[in-house]
Amino acid sequence: MALPFDHRYPAVDDLRQAARARIPGFVFDFLDGGCHDNVNLASNTADLRDVKLQPFYLADHGSVSLETELFGKTWGAPLGICPVGLQGLIWPGACEALARAATARRIPFILSTCTTASLETIGQITAGAFWFQLYNPVDPAIREDLLARAERAGCEVLVVLADVPTFGYRPHDIRNQFAVPPRLTARTILQMILRPVWGMTMLRRGKPTLASLTPYMPANMDLRQLADFMDRTFTGRLTGDDLARLRDRWKGKMVLKGVATVEDAEIAVARGLDGIIVSNHGGRQLDAGLSSIRALGPIVEAVGRRTTVMIDSGIRSGPDIARALASGARFTFLGRAFMYAAAALGDRGGDHAAEILSRQLLQVMEQVGCDRVADLPRHLVRQ
Specify whether the CB–CB gap between 319 and 357 falls below 8 A: no
Measure the CA–CA gap between 99 and 121, rounded to whole angstroms: 10
Q: Which of 36, 172, 281, 379 is catalytic?
A: 281
User: Within 10 Å of residue 127's Cβ, how many Cβ atoms?
Assistant: 9
Q: Does 114 bind ligand FMN (CB under 6 A)?
A: yes
Specify whether the CB–CB gap between 286 and 306 falls below 8 A: no
Residue 269, class by beta-carbon neighbours within 10 Å (0-12 exposed, 13-18 middle, 19+ buried)? middle
**Stretch of residues binding ligand FMN (CB under 6 A), selected from 52-60, 185-193, 241-249, 281-289:** 281-289
Q: Does 279 bind ligand FMN (CB under 6 A)?
A: yes
Between residues 273 and 370, which has the closer beta carbon with respect to ligand FMN?
A: 273
Between residues 314 and 350, which has the closer beta carbon with respect to ligand FMN?
A: 314
Q: Does 312 bind ligand FMN (CB under 6 A)?
A: yes
**Stretch of residues binding ligand FMN (CB under 6 A), selected from 140-148, 177-185, 309-317, 364-372:** 309-317
CB of 209: closest distance to ligand FMN in angstroms?
14
Radius of gyration of the chain (CA): 20
DSSP string, 161-216: E-S-SS----HHHHHTT--SSPP--HHHHHHHHT-HHHHHHHHHH-----TTTGGG
Q: What pairing do the DSSP bridges indicate for beta strands 73-75 and 68-70?
A: antiparallel
Q: Does 321 bind ligand FMN (CB under 6 A)?
A: no
Beta strands in the chain (DSSP E): 68-70, 73-75, 79-81, 110-111, 131-134, 157-161, 253-259, 275-278, 308-311, 331-334
Between residues 47 and 312, which has the closer beta carbon with respect to ligand FMN?
A: 312
Between residues 46 and 59, which has the closer beta carbon with respect to ligand FMN?
A: 46
Between residues 9 and 333, which has the closer beta carbon with respect to ligand FMN?
A: 333
Measure the CA–CA gap between 304 and 286, rounded to whole angstroms: 24
Q: Does 336 bind ligand FMN (CB under 6 A)?
A: yes
Site map (CB under 6 A) of ligand FMN, residues 183-212, x = contact: ------------------------------
Catalytic (active site) residue 7:
no
Between residues 318 and 335, which has the closer beta carbon with respect to ligand FMN?
A: 335
**Stretch of residues binding ligand FMN (CB under 6 A), selected from 77-85, 139-147, 166-174, 344-352:** 77-85
Q: Does 349 bind ligand FMN (CB under 6 A)?
A: no
Which of 82, 147, 255, 299 forms a contact with ligand FMN (CB under 6 A)? Answer: 82
Specify whether the CB–CB gap between 102 and 110 falls below 8 A: no
Active site residues: 281
